Amino acid sequence: MPAPSSTGSPSPSGAVTIRGLAPDLKSRLRVRAAHNARSMEAEARAILEAALAAPEEDPTDLAAFARGLFAPLGGVELNLPPREPARDPPAFEEERPAPSRDTPPQVGKKEGGRAAVARRTMPSKAMVRRR
């Protein structure tokens, strides 16, 4: 036999099981049900019916939400400076050809040749021991 709805008439819908309900939430439902002189099941049913009976609001975008939120506070007039023309784009040099894979990378004189490159890329023995 179908379970009666909160109006007392039999409901043709099936049962719903809620798993993983937090103990605090279950306790609050129990207290609310006792306060309203209902069973926990009847209280849960009443909560669902009330929540789903309310008309759904049309979704609004973020700008409309912000306007609605701050409209009661009034607006602000900003003194914006006049716009100026955009600056000229920078002039780039002609493209240089990419180095070929056969040519080794050149190291500047400041860096001290291959030894300087090795010092920058390879950790020293002392650094390895500290780790």
Q: What kind and span of H or E run contains 45?
A: helix 40-53
Q: How far apart are CA 64 and CA 105, in angstroms?
A: 57
Residue with tokens 């789903």: 52
**Residue 131 one-letter amino acid:** R
The CA R_g of the chain, rounded to the nearest whole Å, is 36
The tens place of each residue's pLDDT in the chain, 131 residues long, gives 445 555 555 556 778 888 999 999 999 999 999 999 999 999 999 999 998 887 777 777 888 888 888 888 887 788 888 988 888 888 887 776 666 666 666 655 554 555 555 555 566 666 565 55
Sorted by sequence, the CB contacts under 8 Å of residue 32 that are 6+ apart come out as 43
Task: State residue 65's pLDDT score.
Answer: 85
Task: State residue 1's pLDDT score.
Answer: 42
Please state the separation of Cα 71 from the chain's center in Å. Answer: 26
pTM of the model: 0.37
Q: How far apart are CA 7 and CA 27, in angstroms?
A: 25
